[in-house]
Amino acid sequence: MSTLVIGSSNTDMIINLARIPVPGETVLGGEFSMAAGGKGANQAVAAARAGGDVKFLCCLGEDTFGEQALNGFRAEGMDVSSVKRVTEVASGVALIFVEQTGENSIAVASGSNDQLMPADIAKNEEFFAQATMVLVQLETPLETVEAILDLAAKNQTPVILNPAPAQKLDDRSLAKVSILTPNETEAEILTGIPVTDEASAKLAAEALRAKSIETVIITMGPAGAFVCSDSIAEIVPSFQVDAADSTAAGDTFNGFLATCLAEGMPLLETVRLANAAAAMSVTIRGAQPSVPKRKMVEQFIQTREE
C-alpha cells in the first residue's frame, strides 16, 4: 500500500502580523520565520506522517533551498529517488503573511516547480502501476497534471486531485479523477455555485459528480467537510481549536486522506481523521512543521471523545 504524491516544493518565508496589509500599505511589527512548504511537499509529508509509504516526485533547483528540501524529505522516510533537479532556475519560494486570526495571504515564485514536465511523468510510469493511490495538486504546469491523470487512468490507479490553487479544469480531465477535494472557493470556481452552507455544498458537489467524478469532498474549514458519493451526502464535522496559522490545513487533510484510503479505511472514518489532523495543524505556525503525526491525531480524537 503506497501513495505516489506529485507536485510542488517551496521554501516558505513567513511574516506573522497583527493583520495582512492592504495594497499600498506597510504594516510594521511582524515576526519572520522560514519553513519547508509547497502544496505537493506538504501533502507528501502529511501522507508520510499519517503512516504512509510515500514516493514523492517534484522538481527542485540545484541550490541551497533545494538541498534543504531534499534532506527534509529523506528525514520523513519518503522515497525521493526520482526527484528532478535543474540548474537554470531557482527552487520555488512562497512569501506568506499570517494575521493573528490565523488567516493567511500567499504569493508564490514557482521557479523549478514549473520545470516538472509531462516527459518527467512519462519516465516514471512504473510508479503509477505500483501505487495504491496518486495524489496531485495544481502548483505544477497544467499539462503535467493532465499527464498524471492520463497515466493514473491508464494504470487504473485511483487519483485524488486537490484543485488548488483554484483554476478552471476541463471535463475531460475531471472525468479521470477518483476523488476531488476543493475548498469552498475552489468549488465555486469549478461550478459557479457559491458554497456557504451544507445545502450549497451539496449542489456544488453534485454538479462536480455529474462530470464523472466518483467522490467529491468539499473542505469547509471549521464547518467540516462535505462528502458526496453514490451512497453518502453529508458533512463530517471538524474539531474546534484556537487557530494560529491555516497555511497547510488543506494539505494536511489531503495527505491523511490519501494514506488512510490507501490502507482501506472507510471514507467517513478517513475524513474524520483527516479533519482532526487539519485542525491540529492550524494550531502551529508554518506549513510542514505544523503537520501532526498519526498517533498524535488519534490521541487528539480520543481526548475529544472522552
pLDDT (tens digit, 0 to 9) for every residue of the chain, 306 residues total?
Answer: 899 999 999 998 989 899 999 999 999 988 998 989 999 999 999 999 999 999 999 999 999 999 999 999 999 999 999 999 999 999 999 898 988 887 888 888 999 999 999 999 999 999 999 999 999 999 999 999 999 999 999 999 999 999 999 888 889 999 999 999 999 999 999 999 999 999 999 999 999 999 999 999 999 999 999 999 999 999 999 998 988 777 789 999 999 999 999 999 999 999 999 999 999 999 988 788 889 999 999 999 998 876
Instruction: Say how many residues make up the chain.
Output: 306
- For the chain, the structural domain boundaries read 2-305
Q: Is the entire prediction scored with pTM above 0.85?
A: yes
CATH topology of domain 2-305: UDP-N-acetylmuramoyl-L-alanine:D-glutamate ligase (3.40.1190)
Q: What are the residue numbers of the active site? A: 251
Q: At what angle do helices 198-209 and 184-191 cross, to 10 degrees?
A: 50
Res 306: pLDDT: 62
